[in-house]
């Protein structure tokens, strides 16, 4: 009886926390990205019809890299009339095993940027939510899309096809120069970045100059060290397979299997293909060349996948096209540098378990676009640098929510011999299975539809409290109470270091950061 009352009290506390947040959120709907800074997208495709172009020089902005971030940024700035020079190491279609799932929040950013047609004609698949599997049980988690227009959902696709669509669209604009070349260094003069030095496709050493250089050269960036303090962590590696003509248990859904030792992901990337990503903790994976990997996948992983796709999984292993990719996470730690800016994976990474990378990149582009729009001249590098410090603050609530959730969920979803960690993992599965606000709240965070840091923390600790409540049934023995205390302690040990790395003040109290209020530089009028 005591246990029942205790469980009821804890469960009511969870409901109270979530309800309290919902009330507060309704009263404070202004996002940190400040709607006052936003204006409707204007398709400007000629260099003569825009007021925000520089008045002199050949190029306004150099973009290093034409991946998702670089291509989308080039398109966005060019449509605002900027003259853009994009330098990409390899312009052939990329072939990657990550960057294939765009969350609904990221698709909304594509719409805001006017780039939603870039997911058309590439056999992209609509994604409406997730299915979670654990110990023979499963639950479906739908994206809360009721308030959005009918085409809003997640999208999954071949990463290279998506990038090529954006590259082609960017290159079609007259004020975009897309060039293949390898940038070897940034050109610096008196502490200001003036441009880049690069090697062209035919091997010539060339230089390019612009008032603003934006580095988007991806997770393997060789330029980031001069612009930030990179602390790259590699918690695991993904082993990638493609399952052909495979029907997933839940059509048009991502599938997450809470396996041992870590999660397995499945999601469609075309009308006939399903991507499988097997997470392997650590930086070393079994050898593909000598057959160790195939044996590992068949003996360790295959028995844990849903039975409906077991045969397709084994067939994919037998075909042998197995690829690996290290999973990196890196908090944003920029050095504000006149004349330069970092974006995309060169700047900030998180574990790809939640598929939030492209959403963060596209959200960052919206923030930067709105900051640059009032500026007609980018040549005052020091003033521009001071002004663009607000970019690092304005992006934080969205980016840090997605980053923190990715890191925390990965740690919770990994198997562990520790009893408290096992309870936390089970509590997370059961909490999400409750439905209602208990599933829509976390899924709204995961999908980028409601990236609010406070909501993340509330739901994370609600899971922990729910887990403690489960331990008190059928009776609150001393050992169960001790495990419950360790569960709360373990949850704190998971999330607080991630929040600290992201920046507590910028994440939860961005309006207290002076740069948040920084106004655009005032254009100096020329004397007649």
Which stretch of 100-114, 170-184, 465-479, 512-526 has the lowest confidence by average pLDDT? 512-526
- pTM: predicted TM-score of the whole model, two decimal places: 0.88
- Integer Cα distance of 301 and 32 in angstroms: 42
391 and 365 in contact (C-beta within 8 Å)?
Answer: no
Fold of the CATH domain 52-122+157-231+331-379: FAD/NAD(P)-binding domain (3.50.50)
Number of C-beta neighbours around residue 418 at 10 A: 13
What pLDDT, on a 0 to 100 scale, did the predictor assign at position 213?
A: 97
pLDDT in tens, 355-409: 999 999 999 999 999 999 999 889 999 999 999 999 999 999 999 999 999 999 9
Band the pLDDT of 56: cuts 50, 70, 90.
very low
- Integer Cα distance of 441 and 450 in angstroms: 8
Which stretch of 13-27, 51-65, 192-206, 230-244 has the lowest confidence by average pLDDT? 13-27
What pLDDT, on a 0 to 100 scale, did the predictor assign at position 524?
A: 58
Identify how many contiguous H helices and E strands the chain contains and give both numbers: 14, 17
- Integer Cα distance of 12 and 479 in angstroms: 23
pLDDT in tens, 23-42: 444 444 334 333 333 332 23
436-460 burial: b if 16+ Cβ within 10 Å, else e = ebbbbbbbbbbbbbbbbbebbbbbb
pLDDT in tens, 339-359: 999 999 999 999 999 999 999
In sequence order, the 6+-apart residues with CB closer than 8 A to the CB of 181 are 87, 88, 89, 198, 199, 200, 201, 206
**Domain spans of the chain, in order of start:** 52-122+157-231+331-379, 233-329, 403-509
Task: Kindly report the backbone phi and psi dihedral angles of residue 401, in degrees, each rounded to the nearest multiple of 5, phi listed first.
Answer: -65, -50
Give the mean pLDDT of 466-480: 90
The domain 233-329: what is its CATH number?
3.30.70
What pLDDT, on a 0 to 100 scale, did the predictor assign at position 519?
A: 85
Long-range CB contacts (< 8 A, 24+ apart) of 33-41? 33/363, 33/366, 33/367, 33/370, 33/394, 33/397, 33/398, 34/394, 37/370, 37/371, 37/394, 38/366, 38/370, 39/370, 39/373, 41/79, 41/112, 41/113, 41/114
The residues pairing with 274 across neighbouring beta strands, listed in sequence order, are: 243, 268
Give the residue from 186, 228, 453 showing the smallest Cα distance to 345. 228
Residue 10 has pLDDT above 70, yes or no: no
Tokens 């870039």 locate to 118
How much of the chain, in percent, has pLDDT values that exceed 90? 83
Give the residue from 445, 363, 437, 435 showing the smallest Cα distance to 408. 445
What pLDDT, on a 0 to 100 scale, did the predictor assign at position 475?
A: 83
In sequence order, the 6+-apart residues with CB closer than 8 A to the CB of 34 are 394
3-state SS track over 22-33: HHHHHHCCCCCC
Q: Which residue has the higher pLDDT, 5 or 211?
A: 211
pLDDT in tens, 306-345: 999 999 999 999 999 999 999 999 999 999 999 999 999 9
What pLDDT, on a 0 to 100 scale, did the predictor assign at position 124?
A: 98
- Integer Cα distance of 171 and 148 in angstroms: 31
User: H-type helices in 395-477, by residue range?
Assistant: 396-413, 419-433, 437-446, 453-471
What pLDDT, on a 0 to 100 scale, did the predictor assign at position 523?
A: 66
pLDDT in tens, 97-154: 999 999 999 999 999 999 999 999 999 999 999 999 999 999 999 999 999 999 999 9
- Integer Cα distance of 206 and 233 in angstroms: 34
Band the pLDDT of 58: cuts 50, 70, 90.
confident
Task: Tell me the pLDDT of the chain averaged across its residues.
Answer: 88
């Amino acid at each position: 009886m005591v246990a029942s009352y205790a469980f009821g009290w804890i469960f009511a506390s969870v409901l109270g926390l979530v309800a309290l947040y919902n009330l507060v959120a309704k009263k404070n709907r202004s996002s940190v990205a400040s709607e006052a800074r936003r204006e409707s997208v204007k398709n400007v495709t000629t260099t003569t019809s825009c007021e925000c172009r520089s008045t002199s020089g050949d190029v306004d902005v150099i973009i290093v890299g034409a991946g998702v971030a670089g291509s989308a940024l080039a398109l966005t700035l060019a449509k605002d009339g900027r003259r853009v020079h994009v330098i990409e190491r390899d312009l052939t279609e990329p072939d990657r095993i990550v960057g294939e799932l765009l969350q609904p929040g990221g698709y909304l950013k594509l719409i805001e940027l006017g780039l939603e047609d870039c997911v058309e004609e590439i056999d992209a698949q609509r994604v409406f939510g997730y299915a979670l599997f654990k110990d023979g049980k499963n639950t479906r988690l739908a994206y809360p899309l009721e308030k959005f227009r009918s085409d809003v959902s997640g999208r999954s696709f071949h990463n290279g096809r998506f990038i090529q669509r954006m590259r082609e669209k960017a290159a079609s604009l007259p004020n975009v120069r897309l060039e293949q070349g390898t940038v070897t260094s940034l050109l610096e003069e008196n502490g200001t970045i003036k441009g880049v030095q690069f090697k062209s496709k035919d091997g010539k050493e060339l230089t390019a100059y612009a008032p603003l250089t934006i580095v988007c050269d991806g997770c393997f960036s060789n330029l980031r060290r001069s612009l930030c303090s990179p602390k790259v962590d590699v918690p695991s590696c993904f082993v990638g397979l493609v399952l052909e003509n495979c029907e997933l248990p839940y059509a048009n859904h991502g599938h997450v299997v809470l396996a041992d030792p870590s999660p397995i992901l499945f999601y469609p990337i075309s009308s006939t293909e399903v991507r499988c990503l097997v997470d392997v903790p650590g930086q070393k994976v079994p050898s593909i060349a000598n057959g160790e990997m195939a044996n590992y996948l068949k003996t360790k992983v295959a028995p844990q996948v849903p039975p409906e796709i077991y045969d397709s999984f084994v067939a994919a292993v037998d075909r042998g096209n197995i690829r690996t990719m290290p999973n990196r996470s890196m908090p944003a730690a920029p050095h504000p540098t006149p004349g330069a800016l970092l974006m995309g994976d060169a700047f900030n990474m998180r574990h790809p378990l939640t598929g939030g990378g492209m959403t963060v990149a596209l959200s960052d582009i919206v923030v930067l676009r709105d900051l640059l729009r009032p500026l007609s001249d980018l040549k005052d590098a020091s003033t521009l640098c001071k002004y663009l410090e607000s970019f690092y603050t304005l992006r934080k609530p969205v980016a840090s929510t997605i980053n923190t959730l990715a890191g925390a969920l990965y740690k919770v979803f990994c198997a562990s011999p520790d009893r408290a960690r096992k309870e936390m993992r089970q509590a997370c599965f059961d909490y999400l299975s409750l439905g209602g606000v208990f599933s829509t709240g976390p899924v709204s965070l995961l999908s980028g539809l409601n990236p609010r840091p406070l909501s993340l923390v509330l739901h994370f600790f609600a899971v922990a409290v729910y887990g403690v409540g489960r331990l008190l049934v059928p009776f609150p023995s001393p050992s169960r109470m001790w495990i419950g205390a360790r569960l709360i302690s373990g949850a704190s040990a998971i999330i607080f270091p991630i929040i600290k790395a992201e920046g507590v003040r910028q994440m939860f109290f961005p309006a207290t950061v002076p740069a948040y209020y920084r106004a655009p530089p005032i254009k100096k009028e020329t004397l007649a």
